[in-house]
Chain A
Amino acid sequence: NAGVTQTPKFRVLKTGQSMTLLCAQDMNHEYMYWYRQDPGMGLRLIHYSVGEGTTAKGEVPDGYNVSRLKKQNFLLGLESAAPSQTSVYFCASSSTGVYNEQFFGPGTRLTVL
Chain B
Amino acid sequence: AQSVTQLGSHVSVSEGALVLLRCNYSSSVPPYLFWYVQYPNQGLQLLLKYTSAATLVKGINGFEAEFKKSETSFHLTKPSAHMSDAAEYFCAVSVIYGNNRLAFGKGNQVVVIP
Taking Cβ atoms with an 8 Å cutoff, the residues of A that contact B are 4, 31, 33, 40-45, 48, 50, 58, 90, 92, 94, 96-102, 104-107
Sample (15) of A-B pairs whose CB atoms are under 8 Å apart: A4-B43, A31-B99, A40-B106, A41-B106, A42-B106, A42-B107, A43-B44, A48-B99, A50-B99, A58-B101, A90-B44, A94-B100, A96-B100, A101-B46, A107-B42
B residues less than 8 Å from A58 (CB atoms) = 101
Residues of A within 8 A of B90 (CB): 42-43
Name B101's contact: one of A4, A45, A90, A96 (CB within 8 Å): A45
Chain B: residues with Cβ within 8 Å of the partner, total of 24
Name B7-57 residues within 8 Å CB distance of A: 9, 32, 34, 36, 41-46, 49, 51
Is B98 interfacial (CB 8 A cutoff)? yes
Given the complex of chains A and B, what is the CA–CA distance between A45 and B103 in angstroms?
8
Beyond A45-B102, A97-B100, A100-B100, 5 additional pairs, beta carbon < 8 A: A33-B101, A102-B100, A102-B102, A106-B42, A107-B41
Q: Tally of A-B residue pairs with Cβ under 8 A? A: 57
Q: List residues of chain B with CB within 8 A of the CB of A4.
A: 43
Report the minimal beta-carbon distance from A48 to chain B, rounded to whole angstroms: 7
Cα-based distance from A66 to B71 in the complex (angstroms): 39
Please encode chain B, from 76 to 114, with 1 for each CB lying within 8 Å of some chain A CB and 0 for all others.
000000000000001000100111111011110000000
Find the residue from A42, A90, A100, A102 having the highest chain B CB count within 10 A: A42
Look across to chain A and name the residue whose beta carbon is closest to the beta carbon of B33: A99
- Given A4-B43, A104-B44, residue A99 in contact with residue B99 (CB < 8 A): no
CB distance from B83 to the nearest CB of A (A): 22
Which chain A residue shows the least CB distance to B31? A99
Provide the bound-state CA to CA distance between A96 and B36, in Å: 19
Q: A48 with B101: in contact, given A90-B43, A106-B43, A107-B43 (CB under 8 Å)?
A: yes
Residues of B within 8 A of A99 (CB): 32, 49, 51, 94, 100
Min CB distance B44 to A, Å, is: 4
